[in-house]
């Protein structure tokens, strides 16, 4: 996504040789619209674009998507830009002039990131997943805010999704030194099921709970 037509065309031509499907936009607003409609696996953007800058584009995407790798091309190397890159969880800042080597390195980092993410993503169903690495629940492509104990319970169940997690394990992890009542646990499970938008937390009578995943 680059506002200078010739540079954008050259980038698209090069990327088309090594990627299956390449989309392009001439400004930030068009880029964001394409993102919402197509959900690309990797995003490459210039920092300076008409209507919406590359950083504004990244900010808009990160409000609902913490996972898609974003690469920003820029002439800036100042500390404030580097700090912004960390804040927006950018995979790479590519400093101009852009070369095929720099693009390949950035794409390789993005693929590594996606591979790591895939190992840490627990798929609950077609629209619901949990990111073990970032402790984030995604439902219908939106980040769902969890309470502290909801997050602890979902993380524990996701880590041990191959089996039921015992009441004792749950008490030790969530209630720690305080005492856990069954009413409090059932209330927590109900709240978590509501956030998951489905009965994906199953009670195993006399044992504990397990997470149902696809």
- Identical fold for domains 5-120 and 145-211, yes or no, is no
Query: What whole-number distance in Å separates Cα of residue 159 and Cα of residue 144?
Result: 19
Structural domain spans, the chain: 5-120, 145-211
Q: What digits encode the pLDDT tens for the residues 92-119?
A: 888 888 888 888 888 888 888 787 666 7
Report, as an integer, the average pLDDT of 62-74.
86
pTM for the structure as a whole: 0.55
Q: What digits encode the pLDDT tens for the residues 8-32?
A: 777 788 888 888 889 989 899 999 9
Which H, E and C letters describe the chain, residue by residue? CCCCHHHHHHHHHHHHHHCCCCCCCCCHHHHHHHHHHHCCCCEEEECCCCCCCHHHHHHHHHCCCCCCCEEEEECCCCHHHHHHHHHCCCCEEEECCCCHHHHHHHHHHHHHHHHHHHHHEEEEECCEEEECCCCEEEECCEEECCCHHHHHHHHHHHHCCCCCEEHHHHHHHHHCCCCCCHHHHHHHHHHHHHHHCCCCEEEECCCEEEECCC
pLDDT at 84 over 50: yes
Q: What digits encode the pLDDT tens for the residues 154-210?
A: 999 999 988 999 999 999 999 987 899 999 999 999 999 999 999 999 999 999 999
Query: What whole-number distance in Å separates Cα of residue 26 and Cα of residue 8?
Result: 8
| Pair 1, 49: CB distance under 8 Å | yes
| Pair 203, 127: CB distance under 8 Å | no
CA 60, chain centre distance (Å): 13
Domain 5-120 in this protein, CATH class? alpha beta
For residue 202, the tally of other CB atoms under 10 A from its CB is 14
Domain 145-211 in this protein, CATH class? mainly alpha
- pLDDT for 81 equals 63
């Amino acid at each position: 996504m680059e506002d200078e037509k010739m540079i954008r065309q050259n980038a698209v031509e090069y990327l088309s040789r090594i990627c299956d499907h390449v989309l392009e936009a001439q400004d930030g607003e068009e880029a964001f619209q394409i993102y919402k409609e197509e959900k690309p696996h990797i995003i490459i953007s210039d920092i300076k674009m008409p209507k919406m800058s590359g950083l504004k584009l990244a900010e808009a995407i990160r409000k609902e998507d913490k996972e898609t790798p974003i690469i920003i091309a820029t002439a800036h190397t100042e500390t404030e830009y580097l700090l912004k890159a960390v804040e927006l969880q950018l995979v790479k800042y590519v400093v101009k002039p852009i070369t095929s080597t720099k693009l390949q390195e950035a794409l390789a980092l993005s693929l590594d990131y996606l591979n790591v993410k895939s190992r840490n993503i627990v798929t609950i169903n077609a629209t619901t997943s949990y990111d073990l690495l970032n402790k984030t629940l995604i439902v219908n492509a939106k980040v769902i805010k969890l309470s502290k104990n909801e997050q602890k319970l979902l993380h524990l169940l996701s880590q041990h999704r191959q089996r039921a997690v015992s009441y004792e394990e749950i008490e030790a992890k969530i209630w720690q030194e305080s005492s856990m009542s069954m009413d409090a646990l059932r209330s927590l499970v109900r709240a978590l099921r509501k956030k998951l938008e489905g009965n994906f937390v199953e009670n195993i009578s006399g044992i504990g709970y397990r997470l149902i995943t696809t």
